[in-house]
C-alpha cells in the first residue's frame, strides 16, 4: 500500500503581505522611538546625581524642581500659581538624512514641546525681598488650539487622541524630562540642566549634552534674566564655556533638528538619531577664560552655588543696560497677586510632585 504524502499548506498571499507590513511598521516605530530617545539624551550615560544642597540661610528659600500639573494650558496667559514663563522649545527636523525619515516621525516631533515656568514671590510677605520658590518643567502637545501639558498617564484623561507612534515617543520624552536637574540653586538663582543631544563638528556628530538654563532673579523687583549654554554630559569631556546666550523670555523657540539615519547597504534605513543644531535665540556674550571654566562645573555646596551666581551676575552686569527685561506685563500682575497680603503658594498646584 502506497504511503500517502500531505503537502505543506502555503500561507495565503494576502496574509503574508499583512504580516510583512506589520513587521515593517513595528520596526519603524521602534527605530523612530530610539532616535528621538537619543535626541533627549536617554541613550546617553546617566550623569552622576548631585548631592542635595544644604539648608538655606535663615529666612531664605531654596528653589524646588517640580513637574507642571498635567492639563495646564501653556498658552498666551500665564498659568495660575506661576509668575514667569521662560523658554518653550519645539522641534523642527530640517537637516540631515531627511529623505530617509518616515513622515510620522516629523509629524510627532512637531506636536511636542518642552516648557519651563518659574514661581517667584516675597517671603515673608512683608519683607520686600523676592525669592525663587519653584522651577516647573513639562511636556506639552497642541490639542484643539491649546498647548497643554501632558504625561503618558494623563493623555486619555485629557481627551487627547494619540497614535501608537505618539504614545511611544511621549513615553521616551517623559523619561528624558525626569532626568533634568537643578545643578545649583540659591534663593535668587537656579541652574537647570536639560539632558539633550547636540550636533558637534563638521560631520555633525551627535553628542550627549546638558543644555544649561541659568535663572537669575533681582530680589528687589522680582524680574528674572536667563542665560543658556551647553556642556558635555561627561565631566571629563567638558571644555570651558567661552560664550553664553542671554535670552529674552518668554521665548517660544523652534529648535532646528539634525537627523542621522543608520542604513543597510547605504539605502535601507534601520534606525534614526536626532540632535539639536543650535542654542535658543538671544544675545551672545563672550566669557573670559577664567570664568568659562567655572561655568562647566557642578556646585556641590550652597557656597559654591552662591559663587556661581555672583559670577553670572557679573557677566550680565557687563552688558548694556538696555537689554530686554524678563518681566512681561502678565508676569508683573502675577507677582502682585503673590505679594504682600496674599497667602504664599495660594495659587500653586497642590498636587504638583517634586522630582
Specify the higher pLDDT residue, 224 or 55: 224
Work out the average pLDDT over 256-280: 82
pLDDT of residue 297: 93
- 344 confidence band (pLDDT: 50, 70, 90): very low
Strands (E), the chain: 64-67, 84-85, 87-96, 112-122, 130-143, 146-150, 181-186, 189-200, 205-217, 224-232, 243-247, 251-264, 268-276, 283-286
Residue 157: Cβ-neighbour burial (10 angstroms; 0-12, 13-18, 19+):
exposed
pLDDT in tens, 94-140: 888 888 877 777 777 777 888 999 999 987 766 778 999 999 999 88
In-domain check, residue 355: no
The more confident residue out of 116 and 61 is: 116
DSSP result, 29-72: HHHHHHHHHHHTTTTSPPPPPPPPPPPPPTT----EEEEPPTT-
Global confidence as pTM? 0.77
Distances (CA, A) of 35 to 176, 262, 327, 354: 13, 10, 37, 28
290 within some domain: yes
User: Of 26-35, 217-226, 334-343, which gets the smallest average pLDDT?
Assistant: 334-343
Predicted confidence (pLDDT) at residue 258 exceeds the cutoff of 70: yes
Confidence of residue 246 (pLDDT cuts 50, 70, 90): very high
Percent of the residues in the chain that have a pLDDT greater than 90, as a whole number? 31
Q: Please report the pLDDT score of residue 28 as a whole number.
A: 52
Please say if the pLDDT value at position 338 is more than 50.
Answer: no
Asked whether the predicted pLDDT for residue 78 surpasses 60, the reply is yes
pLDDT for residue 224: 94
Coil, strand, or helix at residue 97? coil
Per the structure, the complete domain to which residue 100 belongs is given by 60-328
- Cβ pair 296, 241 in contact under 8 A: yes
Mean of the per-residue pLDDT values of the chain: 77
- State how beta strands 130-143 and 87-96 pair: unpaired
How is residue 252 written as a grid cell?
A: 517660544
**Does some domain include residue 168?**
yes
Angle between helices 103-111 and 164-178 (to 10 degrees): 50
Q: Is residue 43 pLDDT above 50, yes or no?
A: no
pLDDT at 289 over 60: yes
Do residues 93 and 109 touch, judged by C-beta distance below 8 A?
Answer: yes
Residue 12 in domain: no
**Number of folded domains that form the chain:** 1
Higher pLDDT, 117 or 348: 117
Residue 341 placed within a domain: no
Rounded Cα distance between 348 and 227, Å, is 26
Is residue 139 included in any domain, yes or no?
yes
Nearest CA to 199 out of 254, 241, 261, 259 is that of 259
pLDDT band, residue 172 (cuts 50/70/90) = confident
Residue 141 inside a domain? The answer is yes
Cα–Cα distance list, 227 to 99, 273, 279, 301 (Å): 35, 27, 11, 21
3 in a structural domain: no
Amino acid at each position: 500500500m502506497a504511503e500517502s504524502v500531505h503537502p505543506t499548506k502555503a500561507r495565503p498571499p494576502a496574509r503574508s503581505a499583512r504580516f510583512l507590513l506589520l513587521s515593517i511598521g513595528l520596526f519603524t516605530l521602534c527605530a523612530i522611538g530610539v532616535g528621538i530617545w537619543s535626541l533627549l539624551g536617554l541613550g546617553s550615560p546617566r550623569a552622576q546625581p548631585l548631592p542635595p544642597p544644604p539648608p538655606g540661610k535663615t529666612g531664605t528659600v531654596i528653589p524646588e524642581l517640580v513637574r507642571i500639573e498635567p492639563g495646564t494650558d501653556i498658552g498666551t496667559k500665564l498659568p495660575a500659581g506661576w509668575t514667569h514663563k521662560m523658554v518653550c522649545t519645539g522641534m523642527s527636523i530640517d537637516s540631515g538624512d531627511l529623505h530617509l525619515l518616515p513622515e510620522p516621525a516629523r509629524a510627532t516631533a512637531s506636536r511636542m514641546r518642552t516648557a519651563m515656568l518659574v514661581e517667584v514671590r516675597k517671603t515673608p510677605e512683608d519683607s520686600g525681598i523676592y525669592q525663587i520658590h519653584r522651577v516647573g518643567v513639562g511636556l506639552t502637545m497642541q490639542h484643539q488650539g491649546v498647548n497643554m501639558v501632558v504625561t503618558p498617564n494623563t493623555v486619555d484623561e485629557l481627551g487627547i487622541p494619540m497614535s501608537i507612534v505618539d504614545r511611544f515617543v511621549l513615553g521616551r520624552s517623559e523619561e528624558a524630562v525626569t532626568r533634568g536637574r537643578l545643578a545649583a540653586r540659591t534663593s535668587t538663582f537656579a541652574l537647570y540642566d536639560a539632558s539633550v543631544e547636540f550636533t558637534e563638528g563638521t560631520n555633525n556628530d551627535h553628542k550627549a549634552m546638558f543644555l544649561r538654563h541659568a535663572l537669575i532673579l533681582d530680589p528687589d523687583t522680582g524680574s528674572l534674566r536667563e542665560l543658556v549654554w551647553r556642556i558635555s554630559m561627561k565631566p571629563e569631556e567638558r571644555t570651558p564655556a567661552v560664550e553664553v546666550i542671554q535670552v529674552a523670555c518668554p521665548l517660544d523657540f523652534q529648535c532646528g533638528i539634525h537627523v542621522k539615519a543608520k542604513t543597510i547597504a547605504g539605502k535601507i534605513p534601520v534606525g534614526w538619531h536626532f540632535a539639536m543644531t543650535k542654542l535658543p535665540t538671544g544675545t551672545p556674550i563672550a566669557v573670559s577664560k577664567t570664568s568659562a571654566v567655572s561655568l562647566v562645573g557642578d556646585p556641590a555646596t550652597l557656597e559654591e552655588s552662591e559663587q556661581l551666581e555672583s559670577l553670572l551676575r557679573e557677566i550680565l552686569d557687563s552688558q548694556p543696560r538696555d537689554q530686554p527685561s524678563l518681566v512681561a506685563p502678565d508676569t508683573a500682575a502675577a507677582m502682585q497677586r503673590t505679594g504682600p497680603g496674599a497667602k504664599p503658594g495660594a495659587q500653586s498646584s497642590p498636587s504638583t510632585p517634586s522630582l
